[in-house]
Amino acid sequence: MLRLEPRRRPSKLMLGLTPVLAVIATMIAGGILFAILGKNPVEAIRIIFIDPFLDPFSRTELLVKGAPLVLIAIGLSLGFRANIWNIGAEGQFVIGALAGGATGLAFYPMEGIWILPVMAIAGAAGGFAWAMIPAFLKIRFNANEILVSLMLVYVAILLLSALVSGPLRDPDGFNFPESRLFHDSATLPIIISGSRAHAGVLVALASVVIAYVLLNRHVLGYQIKLTGQAPKAAAFAGVNANRIIAICLGTSGALAGLAGMFEAAGPVGQLVPALPVGYGFTAIIVAFLGRLNPIGILLAGGVMALTYIGGETAQLTLSLPAAAISVFQGMLLFFLLAMDILITYRVRIRRTEVA
Amino acid sequence: MDFSALNPIALVASLVVAATPLLFAALGELVTEKSGVLNLGVEGMMIFGAICGFAISVESGSPWLGLVAAAIGGALISLIFGVLTQVLLSNQVATGLALTMFGLGLAALIGQPYAGIKPPSFPKLDLPVLSDLPVIGPLLFQYDYMVYVSLALTVGIWLFLTRSRAGLVLRAVGENHDAAHSLGYNVILIRLAAIAFGGACAGLGGAYLSLIRVPQWTEGMTAGAGWIALAIVVFASWKPWRVLLGAYLFGGVTILQLNLQALGISIQSQYLSMTPYLVTIIVLVIMSADRSRAALNAPASLGRVFHKTG
Amino acid sequence: MNFVKTLAVAATAAVGLTGAAFADGHEKTKVGFIYVGPVGDFGWSYEHDQGRKAVVEAFGDKVETTYVESVPEGPDAERVIRQMAQSGHDLIFTTSFGYMNPTIKVAKQFPDVKFEHATGYQRADNVSTYSGRFYEGRTVIGHIAGKMTETNKIGYIASFPIPEVVRGINAAYLAAKKANPDVEFKIVWVSTWFDPGKEADAANALIEQGVDVIMQHTDSPAAMTIAEEKGIYAFGQASDMKEFGPNARLSSIIDNWGPYYVSRVQAVMDGTWESTDTWDGIAPGLTEIGEFSDKIPADVQAEATAIKDAIVAGELHSFTGPINKQDGTPWLAEGETADDGTLLGMNFYVEGIEGELPN
């Protein structure tokens, strides 16, 4: 019979090999799906996985789509390492966009290079404050942060919808529920001309580096990891658990808020009710696919972005239904999550012992 | 304002219909969570149940067969989650989210030929004399059968969890899987069963939507009901009776809001729509603040990975 | 089609070869559509896709059409529009209000590609806007509703208080009131375009209040299904919805985009496409009134047909004075008709409608 045996240390080989295996398995399963739908499977797979790299615009769009995922996932991964489960990043994203966007609109039509930094601070502060609600309730009342942060997602989305149909509505917009377009000083600069890749991409990359240094070189990173792996030992070593909760939730909230503000002031350019498209939830998957490791998250964010952009292209060129892409993404995630086990466990074949 | 135009009997009747899909899904999730597993894929399982139930009803002409298919479909898709998290030890939060994505897509693919078709209609309870009683009749004896099934399920789960040995074992597994394992219980098998049960219930909830409440198939028709079911479980502090209360409260808020509008009372609906979520948080805080009581309700191993060593 | 090859085609187009190719009709005209919902929603996106199919039927081999469905009105819209623009499309229809700013942005970068944005108000040299005067249809079905209600209560399931929706309510109310002075409107805002469960609940709530005719301005056929079940009347919205309520359905307002799409594609083929602002009603066929149910008495059918014919002939405007606003302030004097500007930004109920307009 097959049996799982823990490895003494995670396998380096499998660390690199499992994502490849998962992608291959998805290609086979997805190919079968596409063939059933009457499409050429080889072409469909190529369009999803290869074509986005061949086209310069799609390449920059990978950055646009991947940046918020990476930024949010980096924040979440800190908490997840300490067993603090913020699954309300979507809500923090929305509040960050609202706070940052409202700040930008408040300064309309003033000019100045100081406006964007102020908006970014407001966005991060908004996300931070929204995340401090579950943090406070957990520290003070022991309330489960998974559930509080999830509930707050709906509150945040409804708040956005209420505000853009009310006080933040575009005065010249024929009563449509959306804000006016941000003016130039409140719009993120583009880093690759002719694309939508905005300054937020650089911040996302910087967050990867900072998280890497924090986790590997800084005592706080050590404390976070210790809290997750051995809470009792951490307490014994003098780690203040409440402080770690506040730091982890606060950081992830601030980064999600920042991502929300970047999204509003970058690719969208205004506040609209449809701003949240699930980055906060997808980032949870990205964090785990990246095994909570900053470099892994960067790669995982890239893969997720690839399936979105490749999926759109496949819809466009092969008339695949959107639902097929969603099934395909689900399969990819299942395979990636399933194969992870090979890293920390080895599969042993053992004959059933005869008693 | 003429509040007398609000007919409380009819209000209750529509509240029950709106709440029943939530009740099914939340009851299932309750059992899953009691075994220590957090499955965030309720939305995906519901919509998959909705299309399985709809498709089989239409093909077979029997709504009952459809409901059976919905339960089986929900259980099967939940077992993808089960195998990944229990056997392959993947993270429950991430796997649950992936399940939602997968379920929504798969349901939409299967459902393409079923848009615009009317399903066979579902029988309602019609007891001689009782159903015709004034007030009591429409209040108690005139619903479709699935409403009574959902109520029976609430009682059944309550009895199971509090009065049966199997329920005790399930709770033990959710409370401390290592201890349960050392007592000789098969933690993985028990959890897989709880996950499949949760999936079956979510599937029934979805099918209630597509076969009874709306009745039609349209892509994405669950529109977030699965997430509300998750909230209800917490709101209920993992107790079946409070799940019933929670589902009826959530259903009630929606129905009351629509009915008040129909009466001509205007309300800023976004702020009103926030209230169930805020109330859930408050309930959660009150419950959790009392640590001794909270410990009795929330399964201690919720969301934690179990692997037997040795 | 290979993406790289597509790019090559786009590149040649930029050099100017394709323009000539169109004139003599050797190369296929490539037309793209972007939908906000799934094509299976049986409402808004479904009807736009019917329009796409009409284009295919009209031009056969001379066109190639593509579409992307369920594109959220957020950050992804611009990418999808742009991918279409750079993959050799000659004409792109962006079919939801939320695509307005992304469409304008992409259009600036692709001056040779023609864009058509539905229901918006911003145009450019290569961006047209188009929409339907669906309120004209509401005048016709409002009349039928007024005549058919026995309880004198008409229910209206509304999505969001944007001008388009408010206009529809006002037009329907004015027509119903004229047909039946005792009529009363019960309006429920569901804050969603598409949530079958909630729409069904709203229909039930209205029926509970004694409503026996339901109109809707949401996308799913849920209310029609409920009307059928409860034995009352309803109207199809966006698509005919007959299959959901064979007995309940009295008529419908159908968004018939086909003829418009065909004419615009033709214009691109002929090289006569210009940026225009189209707001077409019943006369040009963009707003279509679905077949009358035989539940409607012959005289009412005749009246409704007469109203429709008068609108088509330009003799009747849905908003003809005297009309006061809800608070009693005069809006239109005797015989005066509403100007398009006011209609496009309409944010008030007309006199007689009860309840406050949310905002």
A181 and chain C: CB distance < 8 Å anywhere? yes
Cα dihedral A229→A233→A238→A240 (10° resolution) = 40
Residue B6 domain-assigned (yes or no): no
CA-based nearest residue in chain B for residue C226:
B214
Residue B95 and residue A337: Cβ atoms within 8 Å? yes
B277 contact residues in A (CB cutoff 8 A): 151-152, 154-155
What per-residue confidence (pLDDT) applies to B5? 65
| Domain-embedded: residue B135 | no
Q: Can you tell me the distance from the alpha carbon of C243 to that of C252, in angstroms, rounded to the nearest whole number?
A: 12
Give the pLDDT confidence of C3-26 residue by residue, as tens digits.
444 434 443 333 333 444 444 444
Secondary structure of residue B221 in the 3-state scheme:
coil
pLDDT of B259: 83
Chain A contacts in chain B segment 146-175 (CB below 8 A): none
Q: Which domains does chain C have, with CATH numbers?
A: 3-132 (3.40.50.2300), 134-255+286-344 (3.40.50.2300)
Contacts of B208 (CB under 8 A, 6+ apart): B20, B21, B24, B146, B150
Q: Are A168 and A271 contacting, i.e. CB atoms less than 8 angstroms apart? A: yes
Residue (of B229, B209, A164, B273) closest to C191 by Cα position: B273
Q: Distance (Å, rounded) from C-alpha C225 to C-alpha C199?
A: 10
Question: Given strand C153-158, what is the order of strands in its sheet?
Answer: C184-189, C153-158, C213-217, C233-238, C249-255, C287-289
Pull the structure tokens for residue B63: 């709504």
Taking a contact as any Cβ pair under 8 Å apart, which residues of chain C between 154 and 213 contact chain B? 155, 186-192, 194-198, 200-202, 204-206, 208-211
Task: Identify the pLDDT of residue C23.
Answer: 42
Please judge whether A316 and C68 are an interchain contact, meaning their C-beta atoms are less than 8 angstroms apart. Answer: yes
List chain B residues with CB under 8 Å of A3: none
Residues of B in contact with A345 (CB under 8 A): 89
Determine whether the interchain pair C358/B267 forms a contact, defined as Cβ–Cβ distance below 8 Å.
yes
Which residues does chain B have within 8 Å of residue C37's beta carbon, measured at their own beta carbons?
A: 219
Percent of chain B with pLDDT over 70: 92
What confidence category does residue C2 fall into, taking pLDDT thresholds of 50, 70 and 90?
A: very low
Please state, rounded to an integer, the average pLDDT across all residues of chain A: 88
pLDDT in tens, A18-38: 888 888 898 899 999 999 988
Q: What per-residue confidence (pLDDT) applies to B2? A: 57
What is the length of chain A?
355
CATH number of domain containing B95? 1.10.3470
What's the pLDDT tens digit per position in A108-165? 888 888 999 999 999 999 999 999 999 999 898 888 888 889 889 989 998 998 899 8
The answer to whether the beta carbons of residues C47 and C38 sit under 8 Å apart is no
Q: Considering only alpha carbons, which residue of chain C is nearest residue A163?
A: C359
Flag if A319 and C344 touch (Cβ within 8 Å): no
Give dist(CA C38, CA C57) in Å, integer. Answer: 21
The whole-number pLDDT of residue C151 equals: 95
Token digits for A285? 């998957």
Interface contact B108-C38, CB threshold 8 A: yes
Q: Is residue B276 part of a domain?
A: yes
Q: Give the contacts of C221 (CB within 8 A, at least 6 positions apart).
A: B116, B216, B218, C42, C43, C196, C236, C239, C241, C244, C245
Inter-residue contact C188 to C216 (CB < 8 Å):
no
With beta carbons less than 8 A apart as the criterion, state whether C338 and C350 touch: no
User: Per the CB < 8 Å rule, is A176 touching C162?
Assistant: yes
Structural domain contains residue B225:
yes
Q: Does C7 contact chain A (CB < 8 Å)?
A: yes
Which of A:53-92 have CB within 8 Å of B? 85, 87
Work out how many domains chain B is built from and give that number: 1
- B89 backbone φψ class: left, alpha, beta (φ>0; ψ -120 to 50): left
What's the average model confidence in pLDDT over B206-213? 92
Q: Residue C95 carries which DSSP code?
A: -
B116-125, B185-194, B215-224: lowest mean pLDDT where? B116-125
Token pair of B162, please? Answer: 């509090």
Q: Is C341 on the interface with A (CB under 8 A)?
A: no
Quickly state the pLDDT bin for B268 (edges 50, 70, 90).
Answer: low
pLDDT, average across residues C68-97: 91
- Exposed (0-12), middle (13-18) or buried (19+): which is C60, by Cβ within 10 Å? exposed
**Which is more confidently placed, B228 or A1?**
B228
Does residue B302 fall inside a structural domain? no
Interface TM-score (ipTM) > 0.90: no
B11 located within any domain = no
Task: Name the band, by pLDDT with cuts 50, 70 and 90, for residue C269.
Answer: very high
- Name residues whose C-beta falls within 8 Å of residue A142's C-beta, 6 or more positions apart in sequence: B288, B289, B291, B294
Using DSSP's 3-state secondary structure scheme, residue B130 falls into helix
Instruction: Please determine, for residue B291, whether its predicted confidence score (pLDDT) is greater than 70.
Output: no
Q: Specify the pLDDT at position C19.
A: 41
Instruction: Kindly report the nearest CA distance between residue B143 and chain A, in angstroms.
Output: 31
Q: B138 at the C interface (CB within 8 A)?
A: no
Residue B77 lies in a domain: yes
Q: Which among C1, C74, C161 has CB closest to A275?
A: C74
In whole angstroms, how far apart are CA A115 and each of A2, A74, A97, A122, A265? 61, 26, 15, 10, 11
* CA neighbor of A79 nearest in space, from A157, A145, A152: A145
Residue A223 CB neighbours (<10 A): 20
